[in-house]
Each structure stands twice: as structure tokens, then as C-alpha cells.
Chain A
Amino acid sequence: MIVVNIIILSVNSSRYSSYGSWRIAIFFIAPFQKTVTQSVQFLKNIWGHYFFLVSVAQENDNLKKAINQAIDKNNKYREVEFSNFRLRNLLNFRETMTNQVLVAEVISQDPSPWFKTIIIDKGKSDGVEKGLPVVVPEGIAGQIIDISYNYSKVLLIIDPNSAVDALVQRTRDRGLIKGESYGRCLSKYVLRKHDVKVGDTVVSSGLDGVFPKGLRVGYVTEIVKRNSGIFQEVTVMPYVDFEKLEEVLIVLDSPKHDFDFVSEQ
């Protein structure tokens, strides 16, 4: 029996033969197998999706926290990156300037929308004096009008009280840049005959005794020549974005004009 059995096994193992019997077996067993497998899978799913969710929820909370922390950190890094970029820009500008300058941070803005001043964190203790010009890499920002021991108030060039002696860079025509309170300036006393064009750059003339010569003020956006009058109205858009002013440079050794001799005469 044993020998016969071994012979049959060895013959069967040498070549694959099914004799159709597996079909019958599959026909009866497979449905049960399928049902059981599906049931197991169903239970597994229930476990995995509902009971196991308790730990998943916990994990989700932890991940959310981690994401929030990462976003916060990322935001801080981005802020540092932007700050770094701004400061580098300021530093490059500082190096190009021949004047002695002091970096200051803007700490607040004017409470009224009709007046344009800012308060900076440098004052008398840092060598700041009334009347010193305040600039940024984009151009002229304003002038110190009030100082305390640690803080100063800066009158921006867009304030109606501000005036800067300027000239059109291309033609060298002079004018007086006055603030217009709503983010623009008006170049006053520009003669009608002067060839000023939209897009021309306006720079400081240095003749006001406050701002160094050649600093950018803005560009011409509109020219109105009325039928009468010897002057033309030139609207100048400042290069400086005063809404986003965060750091400024105070020019400590600005050109000072000695007008005493006039009064003496």
C-alpha cells in the first residue's frame, strides 16, 4: 500500500493534473470562503475605521498641533527672512550713502488719517535732532519734527505740512514738492515752459538745506496745464510705500545752510 501510494504520488508530482475535481470543491467552498473573508474584512474595517479611530483622532490632534507649530515656525522664519532682506537692502543703501546715518524702527503711525506722521524708536539719546532728514532705500521719507529722549516724530513727505525742494532728474527743472495727504505729492511752482513728462523721476535738489541732493522723491504721474497761469500742476507719486514703512534711516550729517549771515546783514 505504501509503495503503491508512493508511486502514485511520484507520478502525479511529475506532471500537473486536476481531473476537474477542484471545480466541484471550489463551487461549494468558495462562497463560504468569500463570505468569511468578507466578514473578516468587514470586522477589520470596523475596527480599523471606528474603534481604532480613537487613537487616530488622538494622532490627528497631535498632527494638527504639530502642523500648527510648523506653520507658526515657518511664519516666523519667513518673517525673519523678509526682515533680513529689508535690513540687507537698508544696509546696502547705507553703504552707498556718503552721509552718516542711523537706522530706526517705525513704532506707530499718526492716529488721524488726515495727517501723515510716524514715530520712530530713536531720539535725543541717539544723537537725533529736530529737522534731520529721514530716508529709505526707495527715496525720501520725511523729516524729524519732534524729539524726545528715546523717540522722534517724523513728518512724512505726503503730509500737507511737508515741503521738499526738488528737481526733475531729466530736465533739472525745479519745483516744490508738497504733500497731498492721500499718498501723493504735488510739485508746485514748476514753470509752464518746462518740459516735464509723465514718468520723469523727481529728486531732491538739496537747496532746502534739509535733504541731501540727488535722493529720489517720486515720479511724475500727471501734468495739468491750465489756460492761464505761469505754473503747471505736476502730480508726483512717491517711490516710498508709506503704508509699509518699517525701518528708516536718519541722516545725521545733513547739509546745513547757515542763514545767520542774512539776518546779520
Chain B
Amino acid sequence: MTYCFYICVCLCLVIFQTTIIPHIALFNNFYDLLIPFIIYLGLFRPAREGILFILVLGFIMDSLSGGPFGLYLTTYFWLFIVVKIVIKYLHACNNILLLFIVAAGVLMENIIFIASVSMFGPDSRFLAITMRAVIFQILWAGCTGFFFITFFNHIHKKLEKFSIFRSGTKIT
């Protein structure tokens, strides 16, 4: 059930990100929607459950993207690890943490991506436009990331309850 939920969420997010968002002018500088999901996995799910899924997700995104292969894989993997380290010191359900962690994740992804693009020799204009795009992405992430994580957590809990209830009725 859990893995089915992960697959459905990721499928929806990837399709939404690659087919719908590019057509909406408002979301021109929207962030990677899979980041809140990876952070959710890092915050609320055991490492064993999440790591394999994150690697598969990174592989899929790398296949869809035109960037160097392994960029998403690297980003998602390290993001997951960083989140796992962070929750050793901070409480995962802390609302203030949830507010900032997605923005921080988006910033981390952008730093990795910009570093990768910079290898091609960017000019000053590139950096100026990049900064603007990154700031917009972080703002979006700060405003909406919390809701995504809460939504994933809520749906997952409901599904788990439903799953327990079904297995209970089967036993009786």
C-alpha cells in the first residue's frame, strides 16, 4: 500500500511538473515538486523504505531531463541524507522546520544544478537571471512546501489507517 502510494504520488507530480506547469505562466519559476516529497520521506519515513525509492526517482528524473545524467540522482540522494541528519537534532513535526526545510531543499538543488551548468562557462547575465529564478523558487517553496508535506503526511496516515482497518476486518 505504501509503495503504491509513493508510485501514484510521484507519477502525478512528475506528470504535473512536465506537462501542466510549463503551460501556466504563473508557475514559470516554480520549484521541483518532488523535493517536498523527498523531504517528507526523509522526515517521516524510515531510511530503508525511502532510499531505494529515491534512487529510482532520481533515475527517472535524470532520464526525463536534458541535464547531465546523475544530477537528480545526486541531488535527491544528498537531500534525503541531509534531512535524515537534520531530524536527529530537530523534531520532524516542528512547523517552523517544515516551513523552511523545503526552501532549503530547493536552494540545495539549485546550487547543485547551477554548479553543473556553470561548467559550460556562464556569463554575468546568466548569473543575474539565475539568481532571480532561484529567489522566486525559494519564495514559492517557502509559501507552499509546508502544505505539500502536510498533505502527503495526512494522506499517508489515512491510507495506513484504512489498510489496518481492512486487514482487521479480514481477520474478524
Tell me the A residues contacting B by CB distance below 8 Å. 107-117, 119, 145, 153, 155-156, 159-161, 180-182, 186, 243
Contacts and interface: CB of A to CB of B under 8 A. Distances in A.
B18 A110 contact: yes
B126 A112 contact: no
B66 A108 contact: no
A159 B68 CA distance: 12
A181 B126 contact: yes
B64 A160 contact: no
Interface string B73-115: 0000000000000000000000000000000000000000110
B55 to A, nearest CB: 17
Interface string B106-133: 0000000110110010110110010001
Contact of A160 (B17, B18, B65, B117): B117
Given A116-B66, A119-B64, A160-B117, A109 B18 contact: yes
Query: Interface size for chain B: under 10, 10 to 19, 20 to 34, or 35 or more residues?
Result: 20 to 34
A155 B117 contact: no
Contact of B18 (A111, A114, A159): A111
A181 B117 contact: yes
A109 B72 CA distance: 16
Contacts of B122: 160
Q: Which 5 pairs show the lowest CB-CB distances between chains A and B?
A: A117-B66, A108-B18, A115-B66, A115-B67, A109-B22
Interface of B: 14-15, 17-19, 22, 29, 32, 61, 64-67, 71-72, 113-114, 116-117, 120, 122-123, 125-126, 129, 133
B66 A145 contact: yes
Contacts of B133: 113
Nearest to B31: A113
Contacts of A243: 22
Nearest to B132: A182
Contacts of B116: 114
Given A108-B18, A182-B126, A243-B22, A114 B114 contact: yes
A206 B19 CA distance: 33
A111 B14 contact: yes
Nearest to A182: B129
Contacts of A160: 117, 120, 122
Contact of A112 (B15, B32, B123): B32
17 contacts: A110-B67, A111-B14, A111-B32, A112-B65, A112-B71, A114-B114, A114-B117, A115-B117, A116-B66, A155-B66, A160-B122, A161-B120, A181-B117, A181-B126, A182-B125, A182-B126, A186-B123
A181 B66 CA distance: 11
Contacts of B29: 113
B32 A114 contact: no
A110 B19 contact: no
A117 B65 contact: yes
A248 to B, nearest CB: 15
Nearest to B33: A111
B34 to A, nearest CB: 8
B32 A108 contact: no
A180 to B, nearest CB: 7
Nearest to A183: B129
A171 to B, nearest CB: 24
B159 to A, nearest CB: 26
Residue from the set A156, A159, A181 with the largest chain B CB neighbour count within 10 Å = A181
A248 B25 CA distance: 22
B32 to A, nearest CB: 7
Contacts of A108: 15, 18-19, 64
A107 B66 contact: no
A69 to B, nearest CB: 24
A152 B113 CA distance: 23
